[in-house]
Structure 1
Amino acid sequence: MKSVQVTEVPRDAQLIDVREPEEYAEVHAEGAVNMPLSEFVERAGEIDPDRDIYVICRSGGRSAQACEYLEKARGWDNAINVEGGTLAWVDADLPRR
């Protein structure tokens, strides 16, 4: 599975936040789309498979699961786990909402 540090996520990235809505509402990376892991399989069709798919969660565990699903079940090789998740994003003082 591919992974990147939070500082390596492009500004215009397709960024999917797989945390639950309450977590997302507290703080999230600017531009991230909320697609909770609990709904991920049903909503994966909303993802553009022709672009790199950056997946973020709180610390990296749930996003890794989502990337694994995209690779194994969908056959997409462009899913990228954002290491350290939103905690690392906030620590790096990157744009957030």
Structure 2
Amino acid sequence: MIEIQPTELAAIDGAVILDVREEYEFEQLHVPSARSIPISQFIERFDEVPADETLYVICAVGGRSAQVSQYLEQRGYDAVNVAGGTIAWAEAGLPTVSGAQE
């Protein structure tokens, strides 16, 4: 499984970031461009996952996103796990927002 550091991800313009934390976690704090698809709803919302782009999967610390990244890789998707998750992103001083997905 491929991993990327939050600071490396922040430097990629237009990166497709999938946040697999639960909705209440996402609303508290998330990466500005992230799309929320909670791990608990991932299978039923799988049709929302872009098939033709590199997907950067993030959660709180990297465990749930690693599971989803592996699942995506097994299905032929180009998936990258964000090491340290949203916590590492925030600790690196990178921008975050709160509230529901727009």
Q: TM-score, normalised by structure 2?
A: 0.89
Correspondence for 2:88: 88
Structure 1: gaps (5+ residues): none
Paired letter, 1:29: V
Paired letter, 1:75: G
Correspondence for 2:69: 67
Query: Deviations along 1:20-48, whole A, 9 cap, x unmatched?
Result: 01100110011001100001112122121
Paired letter, 2:54: D
- Does 2:38 match 1:36? yes
Q: Distance in 2 between matches of 1:14 and 1:45?
A: 15
Query: Deviations along 1:51-88, whole A, 9 cap, x unmatched?
Result: 1000000000000000111112x222x10000000000
Structure 2: gaps (5+ residues): 98-102
Q: Distance in 1 between matches of 2:79 and 2:34?
A: 15
- Does 2:61 match 1:52? no
Q: Could you say what secondary structure the match of 1:80 adopts? A: strand
CA offset at residue 11 of structure 1?
A: 3.5
Q: Distance in 2 between matches of 1:4 and 1:20?
A: 22
Q: Distance in 1 between matches of 2:13 and 2:37?
A: 19
Q: TM-score, normalised by structure 1?
A: 0.93
Aligned residues: 95
Q: Distance in 1 between matches of 2:35 and 2:13?
A: 14
